[in-house]
Amino acid sequence: MTAADAGEKDAATGAAAGSRKVATCDVCPRHCRLAEGATGFCRARACRDGRVVAANYGRLTSIALDPIEKKPIARWKPGSTVVSVGSYGCNLRCPFCQNWQISQAGESDVPWREVTPAELVSLAVGEREREQARGRQMAGIAYTYNEPLVGWEYVRDCGRLAHEAGLANVLVSNGCAGPRVVDALAPLLDAANIDLKSFSPAFYDACAGVTGTLDAVRHTIETLAATPTCHLEVTTLVVPGMNDSATQMRELARWLRSVDPAIVLHVTRFFPRWHLTDRDATPREVVYRLADVAREKLPCVLTGNC
């Protein structure tokens, strides 16, 4: 299936503006309005024939066999591996992005190769057989590295075939997507880790430049937490001077508890990356202190990158 074919099924309906076709994308709160041939803010979706399609459909920049704990997912199939795949593009511009080489890239900025859903699932089945021969468990496919939801149709199509092959689907995402996208994918997901970067709308405004982003992330977390077949964990990267207050962490943990007290929260350490190299890595003691604050509300809080 091509990107255009995938988009025909699921893209937003285009509207005519004079003789020029314009379409509005509904995949995230940004709602990019795209003229024919234009590419959205995420660099992964484009307007073709009056519809917004996943232009990065099946275009993989990264494929690796990872331990599930690297996602990070700590309380689902520990010790297993997953075939991790990523494309290019993202609907946020976090200045501290750690995968900026692909998340902030477009079609012509990074090497990619086309892999159909059937080819990806076949590859994953082969990896499962090899892992079994070594006495290890390969759980399934993880959609990660860039932002998978900007090309969510590929996740959907691979996810369906993966389940038919007895493979699990794991999503690692910023969670910034519209209800239509999240509702369509939730039944296909067996595990997910969603970034909850802050509980401050201003923090998300700085990363996304559009209002409503935090609300979208909250809806994603609420939806996946309410999906009985999806194990959910959440990650908060602590960035010095941006989201490292005890008040913010307490509010964030309190809200997660109200959604589901069983949610696992990862409090992780920032390292200077991309545009945010003007500060040192988060002091370990700050990460540990904020994790203790979160434990006032949540029973399972883990620290990372320490």
* 12 and 107, same domain (yes or no): no
User: Cα angle vertex 131, ends 127, 133, to 5°?
Assistant: 120
pLDDT bucket at 20, cuts 50 / 70 / 90: low
* Chosen domain end from 54, 69, 97: 54
Residues 15 and 79 in one domain: no
Q: What is the pLDDT of residues 157-198, one digit of tens each?
A: 999 999 999 999 999 999 999 999 999 999 999 999 999 999
| CATH code of the domain containing 168 | 3.20.20.70
In 105-216, which ranges are E strands? 113-114, 138-143, 168-173, 191-195
Are residue 27 and residue 88 in the same domain, yes or no? no
Residues 88, 20 share a domain: no
Q: Both 29 and 76 in a single domain?
A: no
pLDDT, tens digit, 9 for 90 and up, residues 261-301:
999 999 999 999 999 999 999 999 999 999 999 999 999 99
Percent of the chain with pLDDT over 90: 91
Count of all residues that appear for the chain in the document: 306
168 and 263 part of one domain: yes
Q: Does 19 score more than 70 pLDDT? A: no
- Range of 29's domain? 3-54
Above pLDDT 70, what percent of the chain? 93
Do 92 and 20 share a structural domain? Answer: no
Please state, in angstroms and rounded to a whole number, the distance separating the CA atoms of residues 178 and 205.
17
Single-letter code of the amino acid located at 194: I
Q: 233 with 109, same domain? A: yes
Indicate if 44 and 128 belong to the same structural domain: no
Q: Give me the pLDDT at residue 98, please.
A: 93
Q: 120 with 46, same domain?
A: no
Summary mean pLDDT of the chain:
93
Q: How far is CA 286 from CA 133, 236, 268, 291, 306, in A?
A: 43, 13, 10, 8, 11
Q: What is the model's pLDDT at position 7?
A: 40
Last residue of a domain, one of 28, 54, 80: 54
Q: Are residues 72 and 147 in the same domain?
A: yes
Domain count, the chain: 2
Residues 250 and 115 in one domain: yes
Round to whole Å and give the CA distance between 291 and 143: 27
